[in-house]
Structure 1
Amino acid sequence: MDDQRLTPADPTRPAPTLPARPARGLRRVVLPWLLCAAAVGWGGWTSWQLWKPDPPGDPLATMLTAFAKQNRLTVFSAELAPVVASDDARLFGMLRSRQVAVIPARVDYTVDLAAIGPDRLRWDAAAQRLEVILPPLQLSRPNLDEGRAQYLREGAWITRTAQEALTRENTRLAETQAARGAANPALMTLARTAAREALRQNLTVPLQVAGYRAATITVRFDGEPAPR
């Protein structure tokens, strides 16, 4: 068997270095994940900037804008049927005639939203409560439906001129009576109740859009006591 001898190391010879391949391999594995994480982070930040909820807006400005867009709001309508009568005399009273009429009429109750300014709005930021003070209701001129009117005429001989005069007078009386009937306390109470509910419903959506989803709304008319 051949002798095997160990050759002593040369102290002047540089020590061998480790290959750099593992470091390059590590970078190849980690770098894609870092790029992916950065892309995800950038995408999330961009999405947040695009879709993040806006801070709550000014509730009073929101309400005034809503009022300006609607201008006038019809909150109630009353159907009335005035019964009126008129008389006509001609030829020195020798020809007398009488006409009784039932003329259906409709009266609308509206709120002038354009008249609601900042002085009619109260906003409690701590309680998120909006109070709206409405101006008096406005009643429209009675809309007479003479196509559905019923007439009863009395007289031995009623000329066309007399009939036209009787119809005109009954129309005038029916309009006056319908306006008076529409202003009676019972109908006015119903109309105010309908107005409060209509305003609450119309203002809820703008407030929610402005960011006040838990806000409450109270509506009252001039002269009514403030809620406690």
Structure 2
Amino acid sequence: MADDLNEPANHTHSKAERSPSLARVQAVPWLIAIVLFALAAWLGWRAFIYKEEGDPVASAMLAFEKQNSLTVFSSRFEVVAESVDRRGVLNIDLLESRQASVIPATVEYRLDLSSMDRDRFDWDEESETLGVVLPALKISRPNLDEGAAKTFTEGTYVSRDASADLARNNSQQAERKAAAFAKNPQVLAMAREAAKEAVRQNLAIPLQVAGYGDVTVEVRFDGEAAPE
């Protein structure tokens, strides 16, 4: 009899234990949803509203941190080289051959970003302007596309050795001419303008993403006067 009286109580107690457990299970998806919503709200606030009082110069340097060098301009042009080969016996020239070559060449202009320390940046908080001073451009060794060269050879008889010497002399001459052309003031001016624009784009966008708004980036090279 006593056992019969206790049985409903045990049944009620077991049901009471299951109810909180079921409630906890049902609450888990809601808790996850709330956490995800809060995280999304925080990320949105961080990206679009919050503006961290940080260091724009540090942010700019961070944008260059992973780039040791930046290719900013590439110039492709043709150079003309001409060589003469004379061969004979007892100092008497018996055979003379001439070879002219038109050889395409490519030169690249790079910025050495490894030297971009804090002294090369200047932040004007009032005007929200970042000043950047760049080192001189580095010019690559000319890359001669001798496979696409146009060659013209003259001579009654051009031996294999003479042909090889003419081709080698023309290549050396073409490389020297290409290196000189790469330093042409007009070409250098175009390369510098391309470098300035590349740096503006490389810095303006990361600064905007970092929360500094529409920042003005003024770029100049060593030796150039700062804008007024």
What TM-score do the two structures reach when normalised by structure 1?
Answer: 0.77
Match of 1:214 in 2: 214
Q: Does 1:58 align with 2:77?
A: no
Distance 1:83 1:209 in 2: 49
Match of 1:11 in 2: none
Distance 2:53 2:215 in 1: 12
Q: More helix per residue: 1 or 2?
A: 2
Q: CA deviation at 1:46?
A: 4.4
Q: Does 1:71 align with 2:72?
A: no
Distance 1:52 1:197 in 2: 31
Q: More strand per residue: 1 or 2?
A: 2
Distance 2:217 2:67 in 1: 18
Amino acid at match of 1:134: L
Between the two proteins, what is the percent identity of the paired residues? 48
Q: CA deviation at 1:69?
A: 1.1
Distance 1:152 1:192 in 2: 36
Amino acid at match of 2:178: A
Query: Which runs of no fewer than 5 residues in structure 2 stay unpaired?
Result: 1-30
Distance 1:70 1:196 in 2: 16
Q: Could you say what the CA RMSD is over the residues aligned between the two structures, in angstroms?
A: 2.1
Query: Which runs of no fewer than 5 residues in structure 1 stay unpaired?
Result: 1-38
Distance 1:75 1:50 in 2: 35
Between 67-76 and 218-227, report the one with greater CA deviation. 67-76
Match of 2:196 in 1: 196
Which deviations, in whole Å up to 9, do the C-alpha atoms of 1:45-77 show, x marking residues without a partner?
945555432514321111112112122111111
Distance 1:146 1:46 in 2: 63
Q: CA deviation at 1:120?
A: 0.5
Which deviations, in whole Å up to 9, do the C-alpha atoms of 1:15-48 show, x marking residues without a partner?
xxxxxxxxxxxxxxxxxxxxxxxx9xx98x9455
Larger radius of gyration: 1
Distance 1:49 1:77 in 2: 44
Which deviations, in whole Å up to 9, do the C-alpha atoms of 1:91-141 show, x marking residues without a partner?
232111111110000101111111111110001122211000000011110
Distance 1:198 1:50 in 2: 30
Aligned residues of 1:133 and 1:220 also touching (Cα < 8 A): yes
Aligned residues of 2:204 and 2:214 also touching (Cα < 8 A): no
Aligned residues of 1:56 and 1:210 also touching (Cα < 8 A): no
1:86 corresponds, among 73, 83, 87, to: 83
User: Secondary structure, in 3 states, of the residue corresponding to 2:214?
Assistant: coil
Distance 2:166 2:56 in 1: 56
Distance 2:42 2:164 in 1: 74
Amino acid at match of 1:205: I
Match of 2:165 in 1: 165
Change in CA separation of 1:227 and 1:147 when aligned onto 2, cut-off 3 Å: same
What TM-score do the two structures reach when normalised by structure 2?
Answer: 0.77
User: Secondary structure, in 3 states, of the residue corresponding to 1:141?
Assistant: coil
User: Secondary structure, in 3 states, of the residue corresponding to 1:225?
Assistant: coil
Amino acid at match of 1:67: F
Distance 1:142 1:115 in 2: 24
Distance 1:180 1:211 in 2: 45
